[in-house]
Amino acid sequence: MKTKINSSDDEFQALCQAAKEEVEIPQTFDNKLNALIDNLAKEEKPRVFSLPKIIIWAGSIAASVALILSIGFYVNNNNNNVKTQLADNQQINFENLTIADREKVIEAHRAMVLVSQNYNKGLNSLSKAESRIQQVQNVVNKSFNKK
């Protein structure tokens, strides 16, 4: 049973449900269907899960704080371990040393004082040399600026 339908969509649906044979679809229905699909496609927005910016900022700040705190705890723990090791090493009692060991400690102390004094003299000489170099550079710069 082939029937041409030129009326409304309701009649078309009723005929489709009642028909047992192939039904011919009118051209206007095809155009209407395409237009409806195009309109729905234009109106439809893709649903993408996105967090509000404030949640992203809060998560970033929380991660930064956690990272800074963990680095701080790690450094603090390492400093405490180093201080403990130094304190253990420095607890050698000077009175418990033998006379030879005491002389070695005193001699090492004198050597460190001598090195420190010479180092300070070298720094003073270097400072004087730097000031003289600066004076020479100023004179040379003035002479080049006059020409």
pLDDT tens digits for 14-70? Answer: 777 776 566 577 767 777 878 888 888 887 776 666 667 788 888 889 999 999 988
The residues spanned by each domain of the chain are: 9-43, 99-138
pLDDT tens digits for 118-130? Answer: 898 888 888 888 8
Judged against a pLDDT cut of 50, whether residue 93 lies above it is answered with yes
Share of the chain above pLDDT 70, in %: 73
Q: In the chain, helix, strand, coil percent, each to 5?
A: 80, 0, 20
Q: How many helices (H) and strands (E) are present in the chain, helices listed first?
A: 4, 0
Q: What are the backbone dihedrals phi and psi of residue 90, each rounded to the nearest 5 degrees, phi first?
A: -85, 0
Give the pair of three-digit tokens for residue 101. 């060991």
What is the pTM assigned to this prediction? 0.31
Q: How far apart are CA 124 and CA 57, in angstroms?
A: 53
User: What pLDDT is recorded for position 111?
Assistant: 92
Q: How many CA atoms lie within 13 A of 11 on its CB side?
A: 9
Sign of CA dihedral 72, 77, 82, 87: positive
